[in-house]
Amino acid sequence: MPQVTFSRNVFIPLTNICRNKCSYCGFRRDIGHPEAKLLSPGEVSEIISRGVNAGCSEALFTFGERPQEVPGFKLWLEKLGYDTIVDYLVELCKLSIDMGLLPHSNPGILERREFEKLRPYNASMGLMLETAGSIRAHNGCAGKAPAERIKTIELAGESGIPFTTGILVGIGETQDDRVRSLQVIRDLHEKSGHIQEVIIQNFLPKPGTEMASWQPPGIREMAETVSMARRILPSDVAIQVSPNLIDPKELIECGACDLGGISPETIDYINPECSWPNIPELKAVADLRERLPIYPQYIKRKWYSEEIAPLIHRLSDAEGFRKTY
């Protein structure tokens, strides 16, 4: 049975305000919508506390992208005492470390100085490339310009941050776009050595969105994409699939070796209709091993800051996986 890794996390949807309007997104809300949100420190602390009690190691912070560019959002931040979402996130990452969970933040497009602020307080970070092609679903989305996303992933490498990226399959990209996306990720990793995992994520249509009636990719198409990713990407880059979005069995046979974050406490806020599989059931298809949000090879190479080192040491075993008691 192949060894497959996962991390035990809590999902913290810090805000669903976003400057982009992707045609497939069911997460984003407009300011003024009753479900529009910026979580308070108290709400974040309550989620982290549930994660600690459930034995998690990771606090996964997710966002809409650059929400401060949306009129009205800055007022929300100012009420909490912050000028930017990154400054607020830094404080929440510190809180998470103090409480015992390793932060993994996915704030979208970032500049170098923003990575410098976040690096000491994150075990790893992420940004989906999604696609290196120009597609209709991203029309009018400044942050979905492939060059912007590639630049952010490149800056993460230059900042020495263990990084997660990936492609979203079935959003209108061509087969050539998929190949090129994986080649771009390979080249970024060959330059900086920072890509720890690549998610091959299947698009699932969301009700009420422009792409609600689109046909999602089937298992055959996903299996072929995972096989192709395994051929293109260097062997030290893990291939992740999402076991709440697709049955992972066949994809593991094609080379997927990681199942990402599985949460005992929180739902997948991006795909709220897809519940997590239970871990004992997954053990029937793979030899599961729990990891931290930072992969073992980056722990061995000490790709982390002094600020986060004590918690990484406390949570990891001699091989750099999650310590079991």
**64 in contact with ligand SF4 (CB under 6 A):** yes
Residues in 2-41 at the binding interface with ligand SF4, rule: CB under 6 A: 18, 20-22, 25, 27-28
The candidate with the shortest Cα–Cα distance to 163, out of 29, 295, 318, 313, is 295
CA 272, 274, 280, 285 torsion-angle sign:
negative
Q: Of 143 and 166, which CB lies nearer to ligand SF4 in the complex structure? A: 143
CA distance 213 to 301: 46
Q: Which of residues 130-159 bind ligand SF4 (CB under 6 A)?
A: 143
Cβ at position 66, least distance to ligand SF4 in Å: 9
Q: Which is nearer to ligand SF4, 40 or 139 (CB)?
A: 139
Q: Which CB sits closer to ligand SF4, 135 or 312? A: 135
Give the Cα separation of 265 and 8 in Å (integer). Answer: 10
CA separation for the pair 36, 150 (Å, rounded)? 29
Output the smallest distance, CB 244 to ligand SF4, in A: 17
Closest distance to ligand SF4 from the beta carbon of 53 (Å): 29
Q: What is the DSSP letter of 288?
A: E
Instruction: Choose between 56 and 168: whose C-beta lies nearer to ligand SF4.
Output: 168
**In whole angstroms, what is the distance from residue 1 CA to residue 276 CA?**
22
Nearer to ligand SF4, 29 or 50 (CB): 29
Q: Are the CB atoms for 315 and 292 separated by under 8 Å?
A: yes
Nearest distance from residue 22's CB to ligand SF4, in Å?
3
Question: Which among 232, 157, 165 is positioned nearest to 200, based on CA atoms?
Answer: 165
Specify the residue, 143 or 296, whose C-beta has the smaller distance to ligand SF4: 143
Are 191 and 141 within 8 A, CB to CB? no
Q: Quick one: 143 or 162, whose CB is closer to ligand SF4?
A: 143
**Least distance between ligand SF4 and beta carbon 236 (Å):** 28
Rounded to 10 degrees, the C-alpha dihedral 112/116/119/121 comes to: -140
A 10 A CB-CB count for 4 gives: 22
Structure tokens at 27: 């997460």
- 225 touches 169 (CB < 8 A): yes
Shortest CB 281 distance to ligand SF4, Å: 29
Tell me the torsion sign for CA atoms 283, 289, 293, 297.
negative
From the CB of 20, what's the least distance to ligand SF4, in Å? 4
Smallest separation (angstroms) from ligand SF4 to the CB of 18: 3
Tell me which of 47, 48, 65, 197 binds ligand SF4, using CB under 6 A. 65
- Using CB under 6 A as the binding rule, whether residue 66 contacts ligand SF4 is answered as no
Alpha helices in 134-248 (DSSP H): 146-158, 175-192, 219-232
Verify binding: residue 189, ligand SF4, rule CB under 6 A. no
Applying CB under 6 A, what is the total number of residues that bind ligand SF4? 10
Nearer to ligand SF4, 64 or 217 (CB): 64
- Binding residues vs ligand SF4 (CB under 6 A): 18, 20-22, 25, 27-28, 64-65, 143
